[in-house]
């Protein structure tokens, strides 16, 4: 048995339709469907006006020119309060040109950074070191650093996560 109080709500969202004069009606498009259709038409007209085509292979090259050993490091089992929780992220330059680390920006002052300052040639590797200051803290943490490279406006975000255990030695 349907709760009669929800029938007005169901008719508004289009789950129940009432035929007029005993004839079934075509279901009307919802506002969401209309917006989706407009967006698709706009996208199609915009893509037809673009003259430059980008293949999936070239997108992969643009995004994968720098490969990381990991982008999120979790300190398993927790870290003691006191010494910094430090990890060295390593990357490899897969582009066709030398790069340098332009900037490394920590999310807050509780995270210190260091990085390889030399030019990284194609096929060579570099590093970013992030250290979360655990002194006088306890509990879960998730901190990040943003890394920028020369010749690119993209930022790479690297995370340190874990838990500071004040009783751990």
Kindly report, residue by residue over 64-80, the tens digit of the pLDDT.
589 999 999 999 999 99
Whole-number pLDDT of residue 159: 98
Report the pLDDT averaged over residues 127-133: 98
Please check whether residue 124 lies inside any domain of the structure: yes
Please check whether residue 19 lies inside any domain of the structure: no
Is a pLDDT exceeding 70 seen at residue 166? yes
Whole-number pLDDT of residue 151: 84
- Mean of all residue pLDDT scores within the chain: 76
Please check whether residue 94 lies inside any domain of the structure: yes
Question: Of all residues in the chain, what percent carry a pLDDT higher than 90?
Answer: 56
Whole-number pLDDT of residue 22: 41
Q: Decide: residue 140, CB within 10 A, 0-12 exposed, 13-18 middle, 19+ buried.
A: exposed
Please check whether residue 77 lies inside any domain of the structure: yes
Please check whether residue 110 lies inside any domain of the structure: yes
Mode of pairing for the β-strands spanning 111-115 and 125-132: antiparallel
Q: Number of structural domains, the chain?
A: 1
Please check whether residue 26 lies inside any domain of the structure: no
CA dihedral 97, 104, 124, 161 (to 10 degrees): -140
**Whole-model pTM above 0.75?**
no
Whole-number pLDDT of residue 92: 95
Please check whether residue 61 lies inside any domain of the structure: no
Is a pLDDT exceeding 60 seen at residue 131? yes
CATH of the domain at 132: 2.60.40.10
Please check whether residue 157 lies inside any domain of the structure: yes
Is a pLDDT exceeding 80 seen at residue 18? no
CA–CA separation, 16 vs 8, rounded Å?
Answer: 9
Kindly report, residue by residue over 19-40, the tens digit of the pLDDT.
433 434 444 555 545 555 555 5
Whole-number pLDDT of residue 40: 55
CA–CA separation, 68 vs 58, rounded Å?
Answer: 19
Phi, psi angle pair for 69, to nearest 5°: -65, -35
Range of the domain at 71: 66-165
Report the pLDDT averaged over residues 103-122: 96
């Amino acid at each position: 048995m349907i709760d009669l109080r929800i029938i007005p709500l169901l008719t508004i969202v289009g789950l129940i339709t009432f035929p007029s004069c005993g004839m079934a009606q075509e279901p009307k498009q919802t506002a969401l469907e209309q917006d989706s259709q407009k967006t698709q038409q706009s996208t199609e007209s915009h893509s037809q006006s673009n003259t430059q085509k980008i293949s999936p292979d070239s997108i992969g090259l643009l995004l994968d020119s720098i490969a990381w050993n990991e982008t999120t490091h979790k300190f398993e089992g927790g870290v003691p309060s006191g010494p910094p929780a430090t990890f060295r992220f390593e990357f490899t330059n897969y582009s066709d040109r030398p790069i340098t680390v332009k900037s490394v920006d920590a999310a807050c002052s509780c995270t210190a950074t260091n990085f390889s300052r030399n030019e990284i040639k194609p096929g060579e590797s570099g590093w970013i070191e992030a250290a979360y200051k655990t002194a006088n803290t306890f509990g879960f943490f998730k901190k990040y650093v943003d890394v920028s490279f020369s010749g690119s406006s993209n930022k790479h975000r690297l995370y340190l996560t874990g838990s500071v255990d004040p009783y751990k030695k």
